Amino acid sequence: MSNFFDLRTTAKRFRFIAVLEAMTWLALLIAMFFKWVLGHTEAVAVPGMVHGIVFVVFVIVSIVTAMSLKWTPKITLLALVSSIPPFGTLVFERWAVRNGHLGELSEPAKAQLA
């Protein structure tokens, strides 16, 4: 397995931001529990802001990745929509690797099928 923090390629940057987006979703969900169940209204301020920033970065990185790896409009739309449900970016990233849409990250998966 390659180093997760190696961000030298477009596909590796996409993977990193996809995982980061899912992690901020988790933080926001936990903060929402504290806000709505325990009554700490200030609990969502920081996780909400961080998640919002990472969400915008994910959208930008998705578009850059789509152009760089020549994704079809359908795949690009799937990547963008994956940022809406919690942990959807992880599902999309795994799917994209398995189906050959993430460049060198997909090559080992293709080699295993041969």
Quick: pLDDT tens for 26-83.
Answer: 999 999 999 999 888 899 999 999 999 999 999 999 999 999 999 999 999 999 999 9
Q: With cut-offs at 50, 70 and 90, classify the pLDDT of residue 2.
A: low
pLDDT value at 1 more than 90 = no
Q: With cut-offs at 50, 70 and 90, classify the pLDDT of residue 114.
A: very low
For the residues 99-108, what does the mean pLDDT come to? 84
Query: By the 8 A CB rule, do 99 and 79 touch?
Result: no
Task: Quickly tell me which residue has 């999309």 as its tokens.
Answer: 92
Instruction: Provide the whole-model pTM.
Output: 0.87
Phi-psi region of 8 (alpha: psi -120 to 50; beta: other; left: phi over 0): alpha
